[in-house]
Amino acid sequence: MQPRTARALAAGIDAICLALFVALGRASHDPESGLAWYFTVLWPFLVGWFVVALPLRLYMSHHASWRVLAVTWFAGCAIALLLRVAVTHRDTPLVFIIVTFCFIGIVTFGWRLFVRGLGLVRSHE
């Protein structure tokens, strides 16, 4: 795979992880809401994530540092939660903050660990 394609794919998978977070929340809390609700909740997470990921160059290296990912995860979630409160005026209880950090951390680190493990298995075959 070309490096440019791999970088775009990684950014796309991260965006899908964030979209999944919002979709699962919607399904468990407000399944009757429409697309406007979905995008109102999603955009702060996309902005928060990519405002941090792009300057830190998370997608510029095929094997980005786990530290860069950790900073992106922590700062991106924090920015998203601040945007959620300041711009969309949505409640952000402590349990939501905890779930946000846990879920987004698990899926963004998780898919990378899965891909790395798959690569190791294939290299041993």
Do residues 72 and 53 lie in contact, with contact meaning Cβ atoms separated by under 8 Å? yes
Residue 18: other Cβ atoms inside 10 A: 24
pTM, full prediction: 0.89
**54 confidence band (pLDDT: 50, 70, 90):** very high
Which residue reads 């775009």 in tokens?
8
pLDDT above 70: residue 16:
yes
pLDDT above 80: residue 31:
no
Most confident of the following: 21-30, 64-73, 99-108, 110-119:
99-108
Mean local confidence (pLDDT), 1-7? 83
Do residues 62 and 13 lie in contact, with contact meaning Cβ atoms separated by under 8 Å? no
Do residues 42 and 11 lie in contact, with contact meaning Cβ atoms separated by under 8 Å? no
